[in-house]
Structure 1
């Protein structure tokens, strides 16, 4: 959430930055109007309170002098009613302001490229020569997985519905191997593992910015204030909801969870295979840091996610997202896209975002500075990595002419030393 005072004091700058984010700028005029109204009401409230206090003092004097106070008491009662009325009006405006603030996206860093959608994202690095390079002429992952009997799409639909997947045999083992490999690697790099609930309440989703804007993308439990997590970013960031922290050193968390998204608006996209599912596996990285450590720790998080792809030897590229494609809570995002041979293109497997203090304001996560002041923390999050998409990439990039799959070297110890899936 943006700071209201910053918006009111920097209206032109805010409008300029939000104009590239596909955002309805009339909301800023609306919030400025409400801010001015609230300022006038607060001034009126302070004037009434001062008058009430003055009359109360006079009543005390008259009582001590044994004089009649009926007229003054009547005036005080009228002022109290007016104070209540003005206070209620101010509170209503605060509610309206808060409703708008919750729907305003983050302000981006100045070096984020201007653009309207993913076609305007900027390629900043490409790594095509890892492993077998940019493989061609292989079977799609969903076909080879069915032949090897390691994924059952038909029974997954029977058990749930479309966009669900059932891993089995070596497929299930490979998913588990990927999760454990990613967790172990990130833990060695200083992340602390957390295994959070897969259900959270509404406050947590407001805290990280999924609510109210992305409600249609979430799965809600009927008749309960509980939602299935769309990413472990939600419980990991909100682990410190409404806390004041010591951030002498960055707080670094890693978690493996199932994630759940309704994929609203994605009808017809990626309906085959395991690229876009309602339920998927992901290892998530979250950091909570002080302001001056923000960009440094963000870049380190990018490197930590890249390291997984390097170790798995899967070709990938790095994309700096443009203004129109950057996520709601993010101030800057780099996507890591791995090579999918059957499509002859790169597909996103991690978005690493720095959110400045945007999420921390919503979740009330603060820290003490060296001079004793209290500030909102900076938050960072990113996949480390999205396992199902890595799974698809392995089944295609490591596919052999005889239809078998070579297990990536770093995963062999996690696969009970199995080197080939056949």
Structure 2
């Protein structure tokens, strides 16, 4: 949630952010009113408690003749305090409800507009050309015995799949490469739970406007995560961290998305599915370090795609297309030959103090005072979509698929995936 001090001191900044997002500006005034009402309720309750304390002390000092009247006054004040405390609880609830409805305040420089208004910052790598008819990743994957959508649908329904043979090995290879690169960069590897409590989901901003995207296990009141960002953020809820430098995690988990509202989009293949595995980077840092950390996360994502020898572009996402928690977001879109366009492969978001304020994650400043931390996230490898891109970009005329050099150590050294290939157990890369 946003900082209430910013709201009180610069409400027009929050209104401008809402306008840029295409969100309801009136929510700012609702929050201002709720904040004022809550502070008034707190002040009134405090005043009455002070009077009650004085009345209680007066009882002890009252004469026999005065005592009945003083006791009656103390009793009346006790009832008033109870009413005031109930009013304060209601004001607290109203404030929290209004507070949760305001998205993070977008950074200066974020492009205005919506989904089609992202700004391309740079393009890296040459778009490949082919002297044969280009096939999409599903056709390639089925021919290799790597992807089985038909049986995935038979077992689980639409937008589920099996990765088999070389497809399964490719998943493990990508996960190993991503985790090894993250550890080399100083991240702590984490295998994160895919089921979380409502507090973690709400704290990271994935309920409310995004609630339709989330799978809920109603019987246990748990949610299936759409990214390990949720569990990684919740891991340090209600803690005070040592943040002499950024604290970084590389989380692996299965991810689940209902894809509500995406009917008819990418129904073929494994680009937009209900379940996939992902390696996610997550950072806790001091707010003044967040902008630099955001650029570092983006750089690590770019390095990973360069290792996979994939052409891509980096785009600055427009305000109206930002998630609730993000103040700024960069996407990396890789080239998909079958669609003759760039498609999102990874992203990284600066969530400032928005998530940490909801989850009560703090650090101590130079004076030892607790302050709200900043959180950032970045996808290092969304595995299913990355497999789709690899198969398409690196396809060959004979039906084989070139294996990038960085992946070969994790695939037993093979230089190409071929139909009917003998599967070789992957071996760790040689020591540096």
Q: Same fold (TM over 0.5)?
A: yes
Tell me if the contact between 2:250 and 2:281 (Cα under 8 Å) persists in the aligned partners: yes
In structure 1, which of residues 244, 259, 281 is the aligned counterpart of residue 255 of structure 2?
259
In structure 1, which of residues 342, 346, 352 is the aligned counterpart of residue 342 of structure 2?
346
In the alignment, is residue 78 of structure 1 matched against residue 73 of structure 2? no
In the alignment, is residue 290 of structure 1 matched against residue 289 of structure 2? no
Separation in 2, partners of 1:408, 1:241: 40
In the alignment, is residue 360 of structure 1 matched against residue 356 of structure 2? yes
Map 1:75-114; keep pairs closer than 5 Å.
Answer: 75-114=73-112
Separation in 2, partners of 1:318, 1:43: 50
In the alignment, is residue 174 of structure 1 matched against residue 170 of structure 2? yes
1:60 corresponds in structure 2 to 60
Map 1:320-335; keep pairs closer than 5 Å.
Answer: 320-335=316-331
In structure 2, which of residues 229, 233, 236 is the aligned counterpart of residue 233 of structure 1?
229
In the alignment, is residue 19 of structure 1 matched against residue 15 of structure 2? no
1:133 corresponds in structure 2 to 128
2:425 corresponds in structure 1 to none
Separation in 2, partners of 1:412, 1:315: 19
Matched length = 417
Please state whether the residue corresponding to 2:252 is helix, strand or coil.
strand
Classify 1:135/1:309 alpha carbon distance in 2 versus 1 (closer, same or farther; 3 Å).
Answer: farther
Please state whether the residue corresponding to 1:213 is helix, strand or coil.
helix
Separation in 1, partners of 2:336, 2:405: 19
Separation in 1, partners of 2:217, 2:191: 21
Classify 1:180/1:245 alpha carbon distance in 2 versus 1 (closer, same or farther; 3 Å).
Answer: same
Deviation string for 1:31-59 (max 9, x for gaps)? 22222222333333233223223322322
Please state whether the residue corresponding to 1:295 is helix, strand or coil.
helix
In structure 2, which of residues 390, 395, 398 is the aligned counterpart of residue 394 of structure 1?
390
In structure 2, which of residues 397, 406, 409 is the aligned counterpart of residue 410 of structure 1?
406
Classify 1:414/1:393 alpha carbon distance in 2 versus 1 (closer, same or farther; 3 Å).
Answer: same
Separation in 2, partners of 1:186, 1:290: 21
Separation in 2, partners of 1:56, 1:149: 82
Q: Which runs of 5+ in 1 are unaligned?
A: none
1:72, distance to aligned residue in structure 2 (A) = 0.9
1:222, distance to aligned residue in structure 2 (A) = 3.1
Map 1:177-256; keep pairs closer than 5 Å.
Answer: 177-256=173-252
2:46 corresponds in structure 1 to 46
Tell me if the contact between 2:27 and 2:101 (Cα under 8 Å) persists in the aligned partners: no
Separation in 2, partners of 1:269, 1:34: 41
Moved over 6 A (4+): none
1:23, distance to aligned residue in structure 2 (A) = 1.3
1:135, distance to aligned residue in structure 2 (A) = 5.6
Tell me if the contact between 1:134 and 1:339 (Cα under 8 Å) persists in the aligned partners: no
Separation in 1, partners of 2:129, 2:300: 23
In the alignment, is residue 151 of structure 1 matched against residue 152 of structure 2? no
Separation in 2, partners of 1:372, 1:26: 38
TM-score, length of structure 2 as denominator length: 0.93
2:430 corresponds in structure 1 to none
Please state whether the residue corresponding to 1:306 is helix, strand or coil.
helix
More moved, 160-169 vs 136-145: 136-145
CA RMSD of aligned residues (A): 1.5
Deviation string for 1:91-135 (max 9, x for gaps)? 1121011112112110011111111x1211100000132xx7366
Please state whether the residue corresponding to 2:296 is helix, strand or coil.
helix
In structure 1, which of residues 304, 307, 316 is the aligned counterpart of residue 312 of structure 2?
316
Tell me if the contact between 1:134 and 1:315 (Cα under 8 Å) persists in the aligned partners: no
1:410, distance to aligned residue in structure 2 (A) = 1.0
Separation in 2, partners of 1:120, 1:102: 27
Separation in 2, partners of 1:372, 1:40: 30
Please state whether the residue corresponding to 2:217 is helix, strand or coil.
coil
Q: Which runs of 5+ in 2 are unaligned?
A: 419-432
